[in-house]
């Protein structure tokens, strides 16, 4: 077989414990060759030293330092599930109690809604009373404000023109205000361009 | 109110932990850091030989990996991807710093010894600065000092092979190198280390000529 010493790459095959075709003759040669055997032993010693190199540790807190720079993207469905999970009670008994409470409250509210819906006359009366009260309150308050700010003549004029007139007047005021703002801006930019 | 369920991440394989990280579980991010901070730091530290810098580069590695965790594909090993980025970060820094290393080797693509010799060259080897010597002592043994003198490419291969216990195929995938190149680099790294460590062997056998008749 081998009438020469092993080549360096052949030593590597033995070091890496390869088992392919052609490796056995190498092993046979090493068994019979003192120099190659010694060379292989040295190489194995080196490999063993490399294998024993320790892992080194960075200072504490690497995860904290990294996470301050890493945005954690939570998909919406995961966030929703986590939110729901956070609101659930922790024990099965409490979850049962919560479910029962929700069922009772839900049933009462549903019954009440159905009852009101079947009593249309009661609903209309109630709505009318509430609406009338709100309308009267708003009108009274608005009237007091207008009289306080602009005097009783304006209040009379508003009553005469009605809601449509008031809306037109307010719209006209808004348009005039916007036109004033744009005009002033135009003047300011043009004067800046000239300078 | 019930707290978010505690996940037992320590016993999950990497692919599952990465999957949880991709779903936004911060605990999964931290588990990945916990698993690999020492291996990554060890690799980077032995590449750049500066503890404080290694901390920063390790941090950069994890930030890059975790920021793009959504791009990870499960058909590849997570550790290979992580070490690839760690190695690139270290190599980029070394290139910027232009650390001097001594290499007697020729082109890795040389097919004959004559061609290898024709493409070999010697770089002027600067003596270690006091700081480098201090760092080498911190790293400890002669073998650490010898590793620090290898070319970066050889150093990465030998560290991934023997410290991280990666196969040749995994190293090739990690470093984006052909399998043959990886074997060449490891062979040359071992040869170089044996030469550098020769002085510590008492009564060591002298180097044989390759192919010398038995």
DSSP notation for A97-123: HHHHHHHHHHHHHHHHHHHHHH-HHHH
The C-alpha atoms of residue A45 and residue A192 are separated, in whole angstroms, by: 83
Of the candidates B64, B70, B62, the one whose C-alpha atom is nearest the C-alpha of residue B24 is B70
Do A17 and A45 belong to one domain? yes
pTM: 0.61
User: Where does a domain end: B73, B99, B125?
Assistant: B99
**pLDDT for position B208:** 39
User: What angle is formed at CA A108 by the lines to CA A105 and CA A110, rounded to 5 degrees?
Assistant: 105
pLDDT at B30: 95
Question: Which residues span the domain enclosing B113?
Answer: 100-200
What is the per-residue pLDDT for B129? 62
Q: Is A56 on the interface with B (CB under 8 A)?
A: yes
| Tens-digit pLDDT profile for residues A9-36 | 888 888 888 777 788 888 889 999 999 9
Residue of B nearest to A50 (CA): B162
In a domain, B208, yes or no: no
| Same domain (yes/no): B52, B25 | yes
Average pLDDT over residues B53-78: 92
A19 in a structural domain: yes
The pLDDT-based confidence of A183 (bands split at 50, 70, 90) is: confident
In a domain, A83, yes or no: no
93-152 of A, contacting B, C-beta below 8 A: none
Decide if A84 is inside a domain: no
CA dihedral B152, B156, B159, B161 (to 10 degrees): -140
The residue from A16, A34, A51 where one domain ends is A51
pLDDT at position B113 is 57
* Contacting residues of A for B212, CB less than 8 Å apart: 4-5
- Residue B76 is assigned to a structural domain of this protein: yes
Domain boundary among B99, B120, B152: B99
A57 is a domain residue: no
In the prediction, which pLDDT does B123 show? 43
Element (H, E) at B109: none
Among the three residues B74, B99, B124, which one is the final residue of a domain in this structure?
B99
B195 plus B134 within the same structural domain: yes
Domain co-membership, A142 together with A130: yes
Do B93 and B28 sit in the same domain of this protein? yes
Beta bridge partners, A4, equal B213
Residue A67, token pair as written in the block = 């996470």
Does residue B5 lie in a domain region?
A: no
Gap between the Cα atoms of A163 and A158, Å rounded = 8
pLDDT of residue A133: 85
Confidence of residue B134 (pLDDT cuts 50, 70, 90): low
A33 inside domain: yes
Beta strands, E only, B73-172: none
Region B78-97 average pLDDT: 92
Q: Answer yes or no: is B63 within a domain.
A: yes
Tell me: do B93 and B142 sit in the same domain. Answer: no
Q: Which of A5, A74, A87 sits opposite B24 (nearest CB)?
A: A74
pLDDT at residue A187, rounded to an integer: 83
Confidence grade of residue A64 (pLDDT, cut at 50, 70, 90): very high
Whether A119 has a pLDDT exceeding 70, the answer reads yes
Residue A134 lies in a domain: yes
Q: CA-to-CA distance for A140 and A125, rounded, in angstroms? A: 22
Q: Are the beta carbons of B58 and A7 separated by less than 8 Å?
A: no
Quote the mean pLDDT of chain A: 83
User: Residue B76 — very low, low, confident or very high, per pLDDT cuts 50/70/90?
Assistant: confident
pLDDT of A172 over the 90 cut:
no
Q: Give the mean pLDDT of B30-48.
A: 95
Residue B211: what pLDDT? 44
Do A146 and A170 belong together in one domain?
no
Contact B187 A9 (CB under 8 A): yes
Cβ-contact B62, A62 below 8 angstroms? yes
For chain A, percent of residues with pLDDT exceeding 70: 95
Alpha helices in chain A (DSSP H): 8-15, 23-32, 34-51, 62-67, 76-87, 92-118, 120-150, 152-194
B39–chain A nearest CA distance, Å: 6
Distance linking the first and last C-alpha atoms of chain A: 98
**Domain span holding position A159:** 151-195
Question: Which of B26, B41, B213 has the CB atom closest to A57's CB atom?
Answer: B41
Q: In a 10 Å sphere around its CB, with 0-12 CB exposed, 13-18 middle and 19+ buried, how is residue A162 labelled? A: exposed
Quote the pLDDT of residue B124: 41
Number of structural domains found in chain B: 2
pLDDT digits (tens, 9 = 90+) for B15-32: 999 999 988 889 999 999
In a domain, B89, yes or no: yes
Averaged pLDDT for residues B40-69: 94
Which long-range contacts link B193-198 to residues 24+ away (Cβ below 8 Å)? B193/A46, B193/A50, B193/B143, B193/B146, B193/B147, B193/B150, B193/B158, B194/A42, B194/A43, B194/A46, B196/B146, B196/B149, B197/A46, B197/B142, B197/B143, B197/B146
The pLDDT value recorded for residue A77 is: 79
Q: Spell out which residues of chain B touch residue A40, defining contact as CB-CB under 8 Å.
A: none
Both B180 and B195 in a single domain? Answer: yes
Residue A74 is assigned to a structural domain of this protein: no
Residues of A in contact with B29 (CB under 8 A): 63, 66-67, 70, 72
**Same domain as A146, residue A103:** yes
In a domain, B210, yes or no: no
Do A160 and A140 reside in the same domain of the chain?
no
CATH (domain of B128)? 1.10.10.10
- Closest-CA residue to A37 (of A20, A14, A59, A69): A14
Of A118-122, B6-10, B117-121, least confident by mean pLDDT is B117-121
Which pLDDT belongs to residue B204?
42
CATH number at residue B86: 1.10.1740.10
Q: Is residue B117 part of a domain?
A: yes
Is B112 or A37 the better-scoring residue by pLDDT? A37
Q: Say yes or no to pLDDT of A122 above 70.
A: yes
- pLDDT tens-digit series, residues B185-202: 999 999 999 888 887 665
Instruction: Count structural domains, chain A.
Output: 3
B4 occurs within a structural domain = no
Least confident of A84-88, A106-110, A142-146, B200-204: B200-204
């Amino acid at each position: 077989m081998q009438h020469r010493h092993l080549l360096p790459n052949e030593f590597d095959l033995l070091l890496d414990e390869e088992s392919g075709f052609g490796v056995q003759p190498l092993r046979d040669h090493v068994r019979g060759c003192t120099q190659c055997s010694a060379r292989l032993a040295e190489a194995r010693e080196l490999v063993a030293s490399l294998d024993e190199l320790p892992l080194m540790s960075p200072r504490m807190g690497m995860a904290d330092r990294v996470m301050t720079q890493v945005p954690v993207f939570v998909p919406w469905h995961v966030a929703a599930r986590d939110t729901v999970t956070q609101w659930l009670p922790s024990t099965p008994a409490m979850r049962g109690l919560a479910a029962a409470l929700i069922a009772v409250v839900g049933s009462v509210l549903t019954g009440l809604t159905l009852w009101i819906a079947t009593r249309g006359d009661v609903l209309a009366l109630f709505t009318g009373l509430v609406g009338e009260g709100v309308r009267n309150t708003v009108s009274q308050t608005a009237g007091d404000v207008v009289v306080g700010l602009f005097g009783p003549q304006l209040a009379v004029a508003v009553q005469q023109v009605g809601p449509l007139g008031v809306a037109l007047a307010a719209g006209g005021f808004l348009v005039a205000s916007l036109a004033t703002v744009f005009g002033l801006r135009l003047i300011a930019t043009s004067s800046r361009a000239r300078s | 109110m019930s707290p978010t369920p505690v996940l037992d991440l320590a016993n999950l394989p990497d692919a599952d932990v990465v999957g949880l990280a991709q779903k936004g579980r911060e605990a999964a991010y931290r588990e990945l850091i916990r698993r690999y901070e020492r291996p990554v730091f060890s690799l980077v530290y032995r590449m750049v030989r500066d503890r404080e810098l290694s901390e920063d580069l390790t941090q950069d590695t994890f930030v890059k990996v975790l920021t793009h965790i959504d791009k990870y594909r499960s058909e590849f090993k997570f550790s290979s991807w992580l070490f690839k980025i760690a190695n690139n970060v270290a190599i980029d820094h070394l290139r910027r710093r232009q650390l001097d290393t001594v290499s007697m080797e020729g082109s890795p693509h040389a097919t004959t010894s004559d061609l290898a010799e024709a493409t070999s060259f010697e770089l002027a080897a600067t003596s270690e600065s006091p700081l480098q010597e201090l760092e080498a002592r911190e790293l400890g043994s002669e073998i650490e000092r010898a590793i620090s003198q290898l070319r970066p490419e050889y150093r990465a291969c030998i560290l991934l092979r023997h410290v991280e216990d990666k196969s040749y195929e995994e190293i090739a995938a990690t470093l984006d190198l052909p399998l043959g190149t990886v074997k060449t680099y490891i062979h040359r790294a071992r040869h170089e280390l044996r030469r550098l460590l020769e002085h510590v062997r008492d009564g060591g056998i002298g180097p044989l000529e390759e192919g010398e008749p038995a």
